[in-house]
Structure 1
Amino acid sequence: MILNPKYAACWADYVHEAGSDAAAEREYFQRRLYRLGRTILYPPPLFAKSYIDDLAQASVELIKIVASIPDRIFAGDHRAWMRFLGIPEADADLLAPFCRPRLLHRATQFARPDFLPTESGPQVTEINVSTPIGGMATSEPYVDEFASLGFARYLARQGACFDRPATSELWLAALLAQCPVAGATQAPIMFEALANPADADASRQAFINLAGRGGFTVISGLLTRLTVEPDGVYIYGQRVHTVYTMFTWHELKQHVPYSLVRALAAADEDGLVDFIASPVSALFDHKANLELLSSERFAGYYAADELALLRRVVPPTFRGTPERVDDAIGQRPGLVIKPADEYGGHGVVFGAKTPAAAWEALVREAAAGTKTHVCQRVVGDLWRHEVAMPGEIRRYMACLGPMVFGGEYAGLLVRQTQQGGDTPVINVANGAEEGSGLAVW
């Protein structure tokens, strides 16, 4: 039971009652939560509370397991972990100095597994571990804005209550727990660090508002504008207490000198700045970790309850190595191949949609290349839900992203796309609508 059956017909009933006002409400909601290049989903799916509670608990446990990988499986040998992931030697040389307990722990405090809901249970397709987690600055405004609209009032008249996770409170708690330098001052300055000079994300103000609730004054700009001095980190002559990175590992490699990143980590070690977070988060974010979670070869590293969870929610995944080429070729119709360190659906190819010869060439190229790819069993039996709008019925498939901050469930990012018949890549880069889901009872 994914949606709450008690309220399954409420939106259709509301559309029938409100008529064109329901469509106008949807347009109003879009304007209120506008973000460049994004479509905000409305109405929000009304999930059964028991389903979201289970998804939240699974997500929290999953992040704990991922955080334990370097010690649990590699006995603290981070070079061995990086070799398993296929990290190029030059990148491993950069990352190795950051593999310290404090920075490794900090790296996993902001995470979001992405699940495809199916009729037989949720299946995780990737685990995002990084500081710029999608949904953190928009989840609470989404729920707050929804609560003021006509459909929310209609639901209340039907007796419905919905969960309002304290996303910003939990994000701030997770952040402040990692900020001893900022905590020692009455007026901490946070530098929201960008890498790409072309970055013009319209969500910037939402993040500034979020950090402002924690007492930070936020300055946004390129990381390369910072200077690291013997007594601290500065921007335009002003002392910075916390550097919060809002870019990907790929952007860092393209736009930021490694020497600056090392200097910031050293300043963090010396108690001069809180560096949130170092590039070591890229190791936890890597899709090859899914082989460690799903392969029977590694089953002995997990307790019985952990193994039961992994077998329930993680589809079988393996790296596209030379040893697995025949497996990847032979299982083509049931596999999807992905670059292990990309995002936004880049480079994702479904075997069932690819001619056999082209698939074999792709698999062999991936196995011989320097960039790690993973093959994952295609998630089938996808859950679909219908949304009534004046004059039409839209049928959607969804991706659910429970946010986990500081080991606590902090809200649900939902992306959905209108059904196209095949297993889709559901993300904003491919035109999916984005918003929050509500746990309703």
Structure 2
Amino acid sequence: MTRAARAGSRTAARLTARYLDVAGDRAPVLEDADPRLAGNVRLALEERLLTRPAFLEAAEVEELEVDLNGIVDLLLSLPDRLFDGDLPAFAAAVGLNPAQARLALRAPVPEPARIGRADLYRDGTGFRLLEFNLSSALGGLQTPELNRLLLSDGRLARFVRDEGLCFPDTVLALAEAITDATGAVGHPAPHRVALMDCAGGYRATEPEIRVLAGLLAPHGVEAVPCHTGQVREAGGRILVDGRPVDLVYRFFTLGELTADAASATAAGALLDSFARCGVPVLSPLRTSMHGNKRALAMLWEERCRRTFTPREQELVRRLLPWTRELRPGTVTTREGTGVDLLDHCRRNRRRLVLKPAHGLGGAGTVLGRSATDEEWAALLRTALERPHVVQELVTPQPEPFPAADGSGAGGWVLNWGAFLIGRRYAGSFLRGLPTARADVVSYAARAHAGCVFQALPGPEAQR
């Protein structure tokens, strides 16, 4: 953590302390909130809300943006660094099966898109990166609606005004990325984009997708919520319910498209149709290869680290916990010592986390400190049967949050979901749990949602 960011972190802590002095043990009062805002938040973020926002100083925001772009640069460079540009070899190394690789690398192979959400904890040294979801299939994009909803509380609104705070509009950043992508392929404004999920998952995601469509409209993007089964090709255009679309913003994943042979065949035909009609997919399926946990683990492999500049070495050591793919063999620890990986994992249970390489939402993640030696050894044996990574445990610093009933403040652990759209930090989606049950902080674990106010002047900030 740089000197400026350390100063920013201390200032952010002072912002929190000053806010708690102003608000006391009271959560924001939202009785006079705009019903539209409240409805959008309820549909997109459910009703489990943190009892205050979090805060960031300008130095922290600036360093976070630089760091996230640095990690994405490294992830996107892995095929060239380690595989002489051989994309199929890289796809196989990160665990794509042949059907998935064929879809992700269909000619012409698109450039990876810089749209994603980094999941981070903040410990005593600064932010630490747990995962990087390089994909458009993201939750929490509507978080600025929560910022706006919280500003319905007069006490918080005055605090934000007095401290000169603001928040990035994630949806505006997304609208600009969509507009840039459609303009790049020659489609004139106004732009119509299909917000598209798989047919099988659309019932669950439709409410959230419809909220996002409504939020994109004021930014000049006509968004059509839909699923893959609604697509038709006619007259050289892609139609959804009879309306031509210029771009597909995908919520479907590579795994869903290749769930079985019939699905993979249908997905190939769908992508062929998009290509014939000149309709790009944002983000392209190839991007998911670079956001894979096994790709992240490659950044700690000795063959990769030998290619790093000193600045890249420092970035990985500071931001990314020691992470390795779980497999037999010798590896180098953070301290530079060669060890047998499985033996190292067995002996250092309390300092490690075991994760499925392709898991979502924290599913299957186990903290070694929560298992006995015997349970941990059994988990390691089982994990060898399908791809897993093992990662150094990050112990986040709890933050004080008022109790919802006004009975005082307690410690909560935050998972910061920091959005990167283009090369811009575009806000954070928080998930939080009380310290006592914060082994894995995720929505699946019934985490509460939250947002961030920050000292970030500029035209992109929405007061």
**TM-score of the two chains, using structure 1 as the length reference:** 0.87
The runs of 5 or more residues in structure 2 that have no matched partner are: 1-8, 330-340, 457-463
User: CA 1:238/1:168 → structure 2, altered by over 3 Å: closer, same or farther?
Assistant: closer
User: CA 1:38/1:56 → structure 2, altered by over 3 Å: closer, same or farther?
Assistant: farther
2: CA distance, partners of 1:247 / 1:298: 31
User: CA 1:337/1:168 → structure 2, altered by over 3 Å: closer, same or farther?
Assistant: same
State whether structure 2 residue 73 is matched by structure 1 residue 64: yes
Partner of 1:401: 417
User: CA RMSD of the aligned region, Å?
Assistant: 2.8
CA drift at 1:236: 3.1
Partner SS for 1:35: helix
Report the more deviating stretch, 86-95 or 168-177.
Answer: 86-95
Which whole-Å deviations, capped at 9, do the CAs of 1:107-143 have from their partners, x for residues lacking one? x32111111100122111100111122222x232222
Contact 2:236-2:276 within 8 A present in 1 as well: no
User: CA 1:5/1:265 → structure 2, altered by over 3 Å: closer, same or farther?
Assistant: same
Partner of 2:48: 39
Q: What does residue range 178-217 of structure 1 map to in structure 2 within 5 Å?
A: 178-180=181-183, 184-198=187-201, 199-201=203-205, 202-217=207-222
2: CA distance, partners of 1:235 / 1:253: 22
Contact 1:402-1:413 within 8 A present in 2 as well: yes
Contact 2:100-2:254 within 8 A present in 1 as well: no
User: CA 1:335/1:123 → structure 2, altered by over 3 Å: closer, same or farther?
Assistant: same
Partner of 1:147: 151
Partner of 2:111: 104
Partner of 2:374: 357
Report the more deviating stretch, 68-77 or 33-42.
Answer: 33-42
The runs of 5 or more residues in structure 1 that have no matched partner are: none
Aligned match for 1:25, one of 30, 33, 43:
30
State whether structure 2 residue 342 is matched by structure 1 residue 335: no
2: CA distance, partners of 1:210 / 1:31: 14
Contact 1:98-1:278 within 8 A present in 2 as well: no
Which whole-Å deviations, capped at 9, do the CAs of 1:184-241 have from their partners, x for residues lacking one? 2344432221214353333233210233234333222221221235712222333222
Contact 1:3-1:46 within 8 A present in 2 as well: no
Size of the aligned set, in residue pairs, is 428
Partner SS for 2:163: coil
CA drift at 1:183: 5.1
**TM-score of the two chains, using structure 2 as the length reference:** 0.83
Aligned match for 1:131, one of 129, 136, 141:
136
CA drift at 1:340: 0.9
User: CA 1:274/1:120 → structure 2, altered by over 3 Å: closer, same or farther?
Assistant: same
User: CA 1:300/1:80 → structure 2, altered by over 3 Å: closer, same or farther?
Assistant: same
Aligned match for 2:265, one of 259, 264, 287:
259
User: CA 1:181/1:11 → structure 2, altered by over 3 Å: closer, same or farther?
Assistant: closer
Aligned match for 2:168, one of 165, 175, 182:
165
Contact 1:180-1:274 within 8 A present in 2 as well: no
Paired AA for residue 42 in structure 2 = Y
Partner of 1:318: 324
